[in-house]
Chain A
Amino acid sequence: MTRTSRPVRAVAFALAPFAFAFPAFAQDSGDPIVIPIHNWSSQIVMSHAIGQIFEGMGNSVEYVSTDSQAVYEAIRLGDAALEVEVWEGAFGASFDAAKEKGGIHEAGNHNAVTREDWWYPLWTKEACPGLPDWEALNACASAFATPETGDKGRFLGGPVDWLKHDAEKVEALDMNFTVVNAGSAAALWAELAAAERDKTPIVLFNWTPNFAEAVWPGEFVEFPKWEAGCDSDPAVGPHPDKVYDCGNPADGYLKIAAWDGMPEKWPGAYAVLQKVSFTNPQIAEMAKLVDVDGMEPEDAATAWLAANEATWKPWLE
């Protein structure tokens, strides 16, 4: 474990007095706490940060790369112990479905609002002054046309496994857009950076908290307001016979999910997990360390922990 031994030792050292003061940690099972990681940076860094805190408490931790939707099934069955970022818009449905089946529960709530939806950088407004209204966007769809979309506008969506229902939204609102999925988050930023060079209008999937806000100022498109059931009940929303005829929740939650067996198996770690809470800027900072500064996620987590002791040390008390 060369790669992590240095930071781990550092954290362990910092935590040594606490470990002494709270022998309750010793009750934690010796089995490793399995933390799933996905394909966006803030989640990976946060997972490592929390993992390193656990390791500092004497627990062993393992990271497994899993699909961000399938993970709830895995947690439910105890294959993974927790999920540090449950975004309402993206994973609310999977999380709720898994909760219904049993085995998983909400262990905490970050002090952050999330929003993920169609988004554009500010220079786009020049080509389409009516923004952020979605009907105005639709009216200037041709400004967003690319070779692969023909005369329709291109909406650059996230990777397919994020299951964003953008195509359904286009269909429900009868928009002049075609959804083109990027292969990865990085591909989104690459396209955005390319568009920035000659200030091409672009509308793409984005979310907050995210480092991108700091690099490229922009705004979310304002769709018909989200109402509960818009994604399942055709009656909800402006079109009585369509689902997804609305935007995503503008102030979605960002929760922490845990396996039902976790409080019993690792009571010490679980107690800490319940107190974990990050804010939008903190999460954006974590993502930035990787996406902009080019650090390895493990190192980014170590660096973040070292720089923000005031934030996380109280959680151990």
Chain B
Amino acid sequence: MSMAGNIPLRPHQDLRPRVALILIGAALVLILGRNLLPPGLMRAPDWLVLPFADWINVIFAFLRDDLGLIHVTRAFAAMLEWLLDVTANLLYGKNRWPRLGPLPWSAVAVSMAALGWWLGGWRLAALSGGTFVWIAVMGQWQWAMETLSVIAIAAPFSVLLGLVMGIMAWRWTWAAKLMNPVLNVAQSLPHFAYMIPVVVFIGVGPKAGAIVTIIFSVPPMIRMTELGLRKVPEEVVESGKMGGATAWQLLRKVRIPTARTEILIGVNQVIMQCLAMVVLASFIGMPGLGQKLLQLLQALKIGLSVEIGITIVLIAVVLDRLSKAWAMRQPVHHDETLPWARRHPVLVVWALALVAAFALAQIFPLLHQVPRAQALSVAGPLDVLVDGFIRLVDPVTTWLRWFLITWVLIPLRDGMLWLPFTAVLTGIAAAGWSVGGWRSAAVVVAFFGLIALSGWWDRAMITVYMVGFSVFIAALIGLPLGIWAARSETRAGRMLLLCDSLQTFPSFIYLIPVVMLFGVNDVAVVAAVVTFAAVPLIRYTIEGLRGVPAELVEAAHMSGTTRRQMLWHVRLPMALPVMMVGLNQSVMFSLFMVIIAAFIGTQDLGQELQRALSATDVGKGLVLGLAVAFMGLAVDHLIRRWSESRSAALGL
């Protein structure tokens, strides 16, 4: 900062590149002088590595045993379990109160179709009803209902909790200030990190699965509720006040109904997060499709895995479309002179169909339940097909595997591990400084510094290299694809639809095809991460390019630009800030995916996280989870800062 004193007249901004250059130089010196460095500059010395994990464990042991928090959490879990038992009974006939179930599958399918019709017309009805027919016919009813019985409890709980917390954050500034950083960290914590404390406090089984799902899915609901309440037009609130509404009436009858769309988008996100958790929560005993998929995939039964994968995807798409249709649904008036039945045709048809379904299920047991022995399956032929395909591409994948591992992955990994941690920190500081001055530099160095202090530096660097390489490949694929798609409206529309659908897939689903193609190894991990991470890049590239103001493009046309000039000099620079948002998401997605991919067998933080989960080591799990979160937050900070200043410079 002493330089600032020497050139007082220069604006602060101009110093940034200089300081950044100096920092990069310092990093280079550290790297070049690597062999001369004292070991303390290579890796954080032992005395600096703080036993965070032990501290956390002590705190948790105190909370759990000395404060007796475990009794509270267990009482809560017992209450939740009672609710879970009710839905479990209704949906798949678990032997619990009220002992009415299971409902015939035909009745459920008819109801879902009616819901689809009501919310979005006959297409949605067909999709929604068809999905449940598929589930029943494929003999997956029990598993699907096990899954849905948990979601049916977890999602409303999460919505309610999110609503209350969102209202608190909106109402009280201190609550918002408290929640914001917590939510930021929570949304970048890998899924596994949530599970360990839950196992400690709740145990395993459906209730633990439900709780981890609730915790994981609540942050977007809080965010959307707060956003929705803030967006309520002031005039609407004033009109409520002038109508003589009390504070409570205002909230309940004016603000919340007016924020309906945002709140329902929150509900949609909750449901999607719940589905993302379906497979992962089976690590701690959540029953259903996820557990089955995990078992089958581990047993390398590809055909059956694909069948279940399709079901999970179908459910995700149906629930996504239903909840989105609900969010976007606008009230429509009815002619008051029509009879009741004419005004509510869906209700009438649903009631009739439901009665019919119950009656027919009594006569034809197949409409009540499809036994697994009589279920259809495409697994056999699919397995043969996949097997043949794998044999066919085996030389390619084997070569690819060998090439990637020997010439790319291993050298990269070794390179990352070879770097002195001080050099990495200095380099990161340089990036921070060039983007946002000393504040940003301090923020990102703090994030990575804490990782160094946690003693997991090497593992973290492996994660960094996996994420970095995957995002790089994803960008190589995603950017040209996005640019290509953005050239025509129809193509862009189709591509965006595809991206939308791909984003509704729970992340775990991406592992099925890669395991199918590459088997269980590093290349499969990279392939899964690349696919997953390319989606946001494509999406935001298209949106960025299409968002360039038409006037600007017309002006450029009138200046006689060629297509190439238009892309490089007009469209891309204008779209860059939006594309960077895509890059940001891409990094977040790959971080999550790399951690999940521990299931395939990786050597990074994810593997250690899974080990911590196995050993129920809360401290270690949280430290590792936070290390992942900090990496994500640091990248998020850098990209966001850059994107904001760039947008401001472009006057967007």
Smallest CB gap from A161: residue in B:
B614
Inter-chain contact A73/B616, CB cutoff 8 Å: yes
Q: Which residues does chain B contribute within 8 Å of A71, judged by CB atoms?
A: 204
Is there contact, CB below 8 Å, between A36 and B599?
no
Is there contact, CB below 8 Å, between B601 and A159? yes
What's the least CB distance linking A307 to chain B, in Å?
19
A residues near B599, Cβ cutoff 8 Å: 183
Interchain CB contact under 8 A, A184 and B298: yes
Bound: A30/B300 CA distance, A: 37
Given the contacts A39-B295, A67-B284, A79-B203, A190 and B520 also touching, CB distance less than 8 Å? yes
How far is it, in angstroms, between the C-alpha of A39 and the C-alpha of B299 when the chains are bound? 9
Q: A65-B294, A70-B199, A70-B613 are in contact. Are A190 and B300 (CB under 8 A)?
A: yes
Q: Which of B92, B301, B406 contacts A1 (CB under 8 A)? A: B92
Whether B141 pairs with A2 at a CB distance below 8 angstroms is yes
| Cβ of B384 under 8 Å from chain A | no
- Chain A 66-78 per-residue mask, 1 if CB under 8 angstroms from chain B, else 0: 1111110110010
Residue of B nearest to A296 (CB): B372
Q: Are A6 and B607 in contact (CB under 8 A)?
A: no
Q: Is B610 an interface residue (CB 8 A)?
A: yes
Contact B370 A2 (CB under 8 A): yes
Contacts A80-B204, A163-B614; A65 near B298 (Cβ below 8 A): no
Q: Which of A64, A147, A182 contacts B285 (CB 8 A)?
A: A64
Say yes or no for B18: interface residue by CB 8 A criterion. Answer: no
Who on chain B is nearest to A298 by CB?
B372
On whether the beta carbons of A148 and B614 are closer than 8 Å, the reply is: no
Q: Tell which of A3, A41, A62 touches B372, judged by Cβ atoms closer than 8 Å.
A: A3
Measured CA separation A159–B614 after assembly (Å): 11
B601 touches A180 (CB 8 A): yes
Given contacts A2-B142, A187-B601, A190-B300, are A60 and B205 in contact (CB under 8 A)? no
Q: Closest CB of chain B to A186's CB: distance in Å?
A: 4
Contacts of A39 in B (CB 8 A): 294-295, 298
A163, B599: Cα distance in complex, Å: 14
**Chain B residues closer than 8 Å to A185, beta-carbon distance:** 298-299
The answer to whether B287 touches A64 (Cβ under 8 A) is: yes
Min distance, Cβ B270 to any Cβ of chain A, angstroms: 24
Q: How far is the CA of A77 from the CA of B519 in the complex (A)?
A: 38
Is A229 close to B, CB under 8 A? no
- Minimum CB–CB distance for B285 against chain A, Å: 4
Residue of A1, A34, A60, A79 with most chain B CB atoms under a 10 A cut-off:
A79
Contact B93 A66 (CB under 8 A): no
CA distance A285 to B601 in the complex (A): 28
Nearest-CB residue, chain B, relative to A76: B203
Verify A190–B519 contact, CB threshold 8 A. yes
Question: How far is B206's CA from A80's CA once the two chains are assembled, in angstroms?
Answer: 12
B95 within 8 Å of A (CB atoms): yes
* Interface presence of A160 (CB below 8 A): yes
B287 contacts which chain A residues (CB < 8 A)? 63-65
- Residue pair A67, B601 in contact (C-beta under 8 Å): no
- Residues of chain A contacted by B284 (CB below 8 angstroms): 66-67, 70
Kindly state whether residue A277 has any CB partner on chain B within 8 Å.
no
Complex contact A187–B520 (CB within 8 A): yes
- With A70-B613, A74-B204: A1-B142 Cβ-Cβ less than 8 Å: yes
Chain B: interface residue total (CB-CB under 8 A): 51
Partner among B283, B372, B410 whose Cβ is within 8 Å of the Cβ of A67: B283
In the complex, are the beta carbons of A183 and B298 less than 8 A apart?
Answer: yes
Find out whether the CB atom of B285 lies under 8 angstroms from the CB atom of A65. yes
Tell me if B106 is interfacial: C-beta within 8 Å of chain A. no
Complex CA gap A182/B524 in Å reads 13
A36–B300 Cα gap in the complex (Å)? Answer: 22
Alpha-carbon distance A2/B402, docked complex (angstroms): 47
The docked-state distance in angstroms from the alpha carbon of A183 to that of B607 is: 10
**Which residues of A sit under 8 angstroms from B405, Cβ to Cβ?**
147-148
Contact B615 A163 (CB under 8 A): yes
In the complex where A73-B616, A183-B599 touch, is A65 in contact with B369 (Cβ < 8 A)?
no
- Which residues of chain A in 113-158 are interfacial with respect to chain B, using CB atoms and an 8 Å cutoff? 147-148, 150
Query: Chain B CB within 10 Å — which of A150, A184, A294 has the most?
Result: A184
SS class of chain B's interface: helix, strand, loop or mixed?
Answer: helix
Q: Tell me if A65 and B520 are in contact (CB < 8 A).
A: no
Q: Does B213 contact A (CB under 8 A)?
A: no
From the candidates A36, A64, A161, A184, name the one contacting B611 in the complex (CB within 8 A).
Answer: A161
The residue of chain B having its C-beta at the shortest distance from the C-beta of A290 within the complex is B299
How far does the Cβ of B199 sit from chain A's closest Cβ, in whole Å? Answer: 6
Interface string of A228-259 (1 = CB under 8 A from B): 00000000000000000000000000000000
Contacts of A161 in B (CB 8 A): 610-611, 613-614
A184 engages B299 (CB within 8 Å):
yes
Query: A160–B607 contact, CB under 8 A?
Result: yes
Tell whether B282 is near chain A: CB-to-CB under 8 Å: yes
Within 8 A of A (CB), among B316-374: 369-373
- Check if B371 sits within 8 Å of A3, measured CB to CB: yes
Across-interface contacts of A6 in B (CB, < 8 A) = 371, 373
Cβ contacts under 8 Å, B282 to chain A: 65
Instruction: Say yes or no: is B261 at the interface (Cβ < 8 Å to chain A).
Output: no
A66 x B204 contact (CB < 8 A): yes
Decide if B291 is an interface residue (CB 8 Å cutoff). yes
The residue from A69, A73, A187 contacting B300, defined by CB atoms under 8 A apart: A187
B600 within 8 A of A: yes
B520 touches A182 (CB 8 A): yes
Partner of A186 from the list B95, B298, B406, B521 (CB cut-off 8 Å) is B298
How many Å lie between the Cα of A163 and that of B607 in the bound state? 11
Q: For the complex, give the distance between the alpha carbons of A74 and B74 in Å.
A: 13
Does B598 lie within 8 Å of A160, measured CB to CB?
A: yes
A10 to chain B, nearest CB (A): 13
Asked if A282 CB lies within 8 Å of chain B CBs, one says: no
A200 at the interface (CB under 8 A from B): no
B522 within 8 A of A: yes
Given A64-B285, A147-B406: A69 and B614 interface contact (C-beta under 8 Å):
yes
- Which residue from chain A places its CB closest to the CB of B599 in the assembled complex? A183
CB of A182, distance to nearest CB on chain B (Å): 6
Q: With the chains together, A41 CA to B287 CA distance in Å?
A: 17
Interface string of B402-420 (1 = CB under 8 A from A): 1001100110000000000
Partner of A32, one of B95, B102, B203, B521: B95
B299 to chain A minimum Cβ distance, whole angstroms, is 5
- Across the interface, A147 reaches (CB within 8 A) one of B94, B206, B402, B613, namely B402
C-alpha spacing A73/B92, complex, angstroms: 29
Q: Is A280 part of the binding interface, using a Cβ–Cβ cutoff of 8 Å?
A: no
**A181 interface residue (CB < 8 Å to B):** yes
Residues in chain A near residue B611, CB distance under 8 A: 160-161, 163
Given that A67-B613, A69-B615 are contacting pairs, would A183 and B204 also be in contact in the complex, using a CB cutoff of 8 Å?
Answer: no
Once A67-B283, A67-B614, A70-B613 are accepted as A-B contacts, the answer to whether A150 and B410 lie under 8 Å apart by CB is yes
Smallest CB gap from A70: residue in B: B616
Across the interface, which residues of A come within 8 angstroms of B615, CB to CB? 69-70, 163
- Min CB–CB distance A178 → chain B (angstroms): 10
CB-CB under 8 A from B522, the residues of chain A are: 148
Report the minimal beta-carbon distance from A232 to chain B, rounded to whole angstroms: 16
Is the Cβ of A73 less than 8 Å from the Cβ of B199?
Answer: yes
CB distance from B166 to the nearest CB of A (A): 32
Could you say which of A34, A41, A182 contacts B601, with CB atoms under 8 Å apart? A182
Given contacts A66-B285, A73-B199, A183-B599, contact A147 B410 (CB under 8 A): yes
Please determine whether A186 and B300 come into contact, CB atoms closer than 8 angstroms.
Answer: yes
Residues of A within 8 A of B372 (CB): 2-3, 296
Q: A160-B601, A291-B299 are in contact. List 4 more A-B contacts (CB 8 A).
A: A65-B282, A69-B614, A73-B199, A148-B522
A-B contact pairs, 13 of them (CB 8 A): A1-B102, A3-B371, A3-B372, A6-B373, A36-B285, A70-B614, A77-B203, A79-B205, A161-B614, A163-B614, A181-B607, A184-B520, A290-B299
Closest 10 CB pairs of A and B: A184-B298, A161-B614, A79-B203, A187-B520, A183-B601, A186-B300, A64-B285, A147-B405, A2-B369, A69-B614
Using a CB–CB distance below 8 Å, which chain B residues touch chain A?
92-95, 102, 141-142, 199, 203-206, 282-285, 287, 291, 294-295, 297-301, 369-373, 401-402, 405-406, 409-410, 519-522, 598-601, 607, 610-611, 613-616
